[in-house]
Chains A and B, each alone.
Chain A
Amino acid sequence: MVRRYLSAFSAREVWEMKSKKVFVIGAFALALLLGACSSSSDKSTESTPTESAAAFPTEDLTLNISWWGEQEAPGATKWLEETIALYTKEHPNVTIKHVLQTTEGLVPAFEAAAAAQSGPDIQYFWGGIYAQQPGWDGNIVPVSDYIAEDELSHYINAKMEEGFQGKIWTAPWYVNPSFPLLVRKDILAANGLEVPTNWDQLMNVCDALSAKNITTIAGGVKDGWFGGWIYSILGAQSVQSQADVINAVVGNTKFTDPEHAGWWSKLEESKKHKCWNDDINSLELYQAQQRFVDGKAAMTITAGPDAPNFAKKAGGDEKVQIMAMPAWSDGPLAGKMGTTSQTLGITKWSKYPEVAADFLKFAHTSDRLNAWFAATGSMPADDRFDLTQVTSPSTKALFESAIQGAPYLENFIPAKLDTDAVFKNVQLVLKGTMTGPEAAADMQDQMERLRTSDRKLVDNFTAWAK
C-alpha cells in the first residue's frame, strides 16, 4: 500500500520525503535525549529532607524570601526589613533579600519556582492546604527537621494546620483571626438599630438598612477571595470540626449533606435580604472594604491582622465593634472566631535550610514578636507574645479569640475546589443566578471530578486526617 502510494511520486520527491522523515525522527530522538538528560539531572539534585541540621555555615551566603502579607498586615515590610537588618548584623556572612508578591501572583510564582526547582529559600504560605500541598509535592522540607519541638509548640496553629504525619511543614508567622465582622455602631445607632447577635437579627438589620438605601455589609467577590472567607465563617457554623470537611473531600460524606450545604442557603437568604452592596460582583475585595472606612457601609469583613487598623480608621472602639459572624446554627463552632496562621516554609532546593530555620526562630524572639505588633497592629503567631501590651479591648478580645479559635475551613479543602466551586458559586449566588442548593450540588460535582483528576488527593487528605 505504501509502495503503491510512493510510486506516484518521482525519485526526487521520494528522496525528499524520506529525508524529511529521517529529519523528524532525528529531531524527536534529540528531544527525547535532552528530555532524558534533564530528568536525570533533576534526580541528581534530589536531597533527603530529613537530614539532621548541619552546623551554622561560616561562608558568605544569600537567602531569598518570597512573601505576601503587606496587603493584610500593613507595616509587615518595615518589620521584615528591620528583622533582616538585625539578623544580618548578628550573622555578617548572611545576606537576605526579599520579594513581596501580589495576591494573585503568590501561588503561581512559587509553582514556577517549584517547576524550576530553583528560587526562594523561604516561601510564604497561607495556612492549611496551601502549606500542606507544597509538602505533599515535595517542594518544601518540614521545619520540624530544623526547629526543636518545644520551640514549635509555641507557634499558634502549627499542629492543627501545618502538621502532617508527625512533622510540621511550615512555621506560623502571624495569626489571622478569620474573619471578623466589623460593625459600625455609629451607623446602626443613627438608624435606630443595635448590633446583631444572631442571624435573624442580622437579616432584620439588612432589611432596615436596605430600605434606607444603606449597604449593610460591604464586600467584593470579583477576585474570588472573599468567597472563601464567607464559606469559612458561614460554613464552619454547621460542622463539628475540620475533620467533617476532610471527610467530604475524600468522599465519606457529601457536600450536599445538610452540615455542608446549609450555609449556601444562608448566603442566598442574605442576598434576598439585600445584605450586600449591589455591585459586589464588580468590585475586588479591598475596593469594597474601603466603603466601610468611608462610612458608606455599616459592616464589612476584613482580614484579622488588618481588623484593628480598619477599626482605628473608622473611629476606634467607640464607633466600631469587632465580632464573629452572628450564628445561624447551634453547631459547636457557630459564633466562634476562626483562626489560621500565615506561615513560612523552607524550600527543598534551599542550600542553607538550617540558616533559613535559624532566621525563622529569630523572628519568634520576644523582641521581634513585640516589634511585629508595634509595626502592624496584628498578632504574631506565638503564644509567648505578651498580650498585656494590647490596649484596645476589642483588639485584645480578637487576639484571645484567635488563640483557641475555630478551624478556618477554607484551609481544609483542595485549593481547586475553593476556586472552582466556592469562589465561583459565591459570585453566582450573590448575583442571583444560582440558588443555595444548586451551589451545594455543584460543589459536590466539582469534588467528585477533582477526586478523578487529582489522583493523589484522596491519599493525601486521608493521611492528613490521621
Chain B
Amino acid sequence: MTLLRGKKEVAGVEMRRRPLLRSREAALWIAPAALVILFIFGYSVITLLIQSFRYDGNWVGFDNFSIVITDPLFHIALKHNAILLITVPILVLIAFVLAITLFETRRGMRFFRSAVFLPYVLPIPVVAVIFGQIYQLHGALNVFLESIGLDSLAQDWLGDPKVALGTMSSVIIWKEVGFGVILMLAHIISLPNETYEAARIDGAGFWRTHISITRPAILNTIVFYGVIEAITMVSWVFNYVYVMSNGLGGPGNATMVSELYIYRSAFQDKAPELAATAAVFLFMATLLLMIAFFRIQRKSIAGTFNK
C-alpha cells in the first residue's frame, strides 16, 4: 500500500515535472523569435512611451497627456473613431447576408465571389481617389440620382460636414465587406451538408436555416471578423481619411480621426511628443480590443469543445 502510494507519488511528481520540462523546452525554442519580436515591438512601444513624457529633450511628466486629453480636436477624433466603430455591426451583418446569399447562389458563384472580394484587394488610395470623384457635388452619384428623378437625395457628399463621415464610412464598408464575405463563406462551405438537408426536410426556410444553423456554426469567424474590423475602425482608417480629405480631416473637422491627429501632430504641426502621447492612447484602445478579442475567442473555442 505504502509502496503503491509511493509509486503513485513518484508518478505524480513525474507528471508534474514533465509539463514543466516541456514548457521550459518550448520556451527555449520560442526564445529567439520572441526576443526578436520583443525587441522590434517592445523597443518602439517603450520609445513611444518615453517620448510621450518628454518635450524638447526634457522630462515633463504628464504635461503632454494633459495637453492631448484636453484638446477638443482629439475629442472630436476619438468621437469619430467611436462612430466608425458603430458601423462594425452593420459591416458584419452585410458580410453575413452576402455570404449566405453567395452560398445559396448555385450559378456564377465564382464570379460573384470574385466581384465581392475585388474591392478588398484594391489599394486604398485608388479607392479613395475614385470615390472622391464619384462623391463630388457634380460627381457621378449625384448625376445618377438626378437622372432618375431623385434630386432631393443629392448631397455634397464629401463637402458637407453633416454627411462627410457617413460618406467616408460607406466607402470603408464597401471596401472591407469583401474580406468578411470570403471568411464567412469559406467557413459555411466547410460545414456538413447533412445539417442543412435535415433542416430543409424539417421545413426550415432560408432565414430560419441560416439564423439557427449557419450563424451559431460560424460564430467564431463572425467574432474574429468583427474584432478585426473594430481594430480597423480604431486604428486603420488613416489612408481613407487622408486621401479623401486631402490630409485635413475636413470639411471642418468632420472626418478627423485619431490616426490623422497623430500624423498631423508629428509631421505637420511639428509636435512629435503630442503625436506620441496620442499614439499611446490609440495603442491602449487597440490593446483593449485585442484583449477583448482573445477573451471572446477563448470563450467561444471552449464553448465549441464543450458542445
Contacts and interface: CB of A to CB of B under 8 A. Distances in A.
A456 B72 CA distance: 21
Contact of B71 (A28, A32, A108, A453): A453
Which of B20, B135, B246 is packed against the most chain A CB atoms within 10 Å?
A: B246
Interface in B46-104: 46-47, 50, 55-57, 67, 71-73
B268 A108 contact: yes
A441 B252 CA distance: 15
A312 interface: no
A21 interface: no
Given A28-B46, A137-B270, A431 B246 contact: no
Given A31-B47, A452-B67, A453-B71, A431 B136 contact: no
A304 to B, nearest CB: 22
Contact of A112 (B39, B139, B159, B267): B267
Contacts of A453: 67, 71, 271, 274
Interface in B126-182: 135-139, 156-162
Interface string B29-46: 000000000110011001
A27 B38 contact: yes
Interface stretch (A87-95, A281-289, A345-353, A400-408): A281-289
B247 interface: yes
B248 interface: yes
B30 to A, nearest CB: 12
A34 B268 contact: no
A346 to B, nearest CB: 19
Given A107-B268, A115-B272, A284-B246, A420 B73 contact: yes
B264 A31 contact: no
A111 B20 contact: no
A32 B50 CA distance: 9
B161 A433 contact: yes
A130 to B, nearest CB: 11
A428 B252 contact: yes
Contact of A111 (B39, B252, B270): B270
Contacts of B20: 12
Given A27-B38, A455-B55, A456-B56, A282 B156 contact: yes
Interface string A183-210: 0000000000000000000000000000
> Which of under 10, 10 to 19, 20 to 34, or 35 or more describes the interface residues of B?
35 or more
Contacts of B67: 452-453
Contacts of B270: 111, 133, 137, 415
A335 to B, nearest CB: 31
Nearest to B160: A431
A279 B46 contact: no
A179 interface: no
A419 B156 contact: no
A30 to B, nearest CB: 8
Contact of B264 (A35, A115, A281, A419): A419
A222 interface: yes
A297 to B, nearest CB: 14
B27 to A, nearest CB: 9
Contacts of B226: none
Interface string A395-430: 000000000000000000001100110011101100
A260 B69 CA distance: 29
A282 B267 contact: no
A34 B50 CA distance: 12
Contacts of A424: 248, 250-253
Contacts of A30: 39, 43
Given A281-B251, A416-B268, 14 more contacts: A27-B38, A111-B266, A278-B137, A279-B159, A284-B246, A416-B269, A423-B248, A425-B252, A427-B250, A431-B160, A431-B252, A433-B162, A453-B71, A455-B55
5 contacts: A108-B267, A224-B250, A282-B159, A423-B250, A431-B252
> 6 tightest CB-CB pairs across the interface, nearest first?
A281-B159, A279-B137, A108-B267, A223-B246, A282-B159, A31-B46
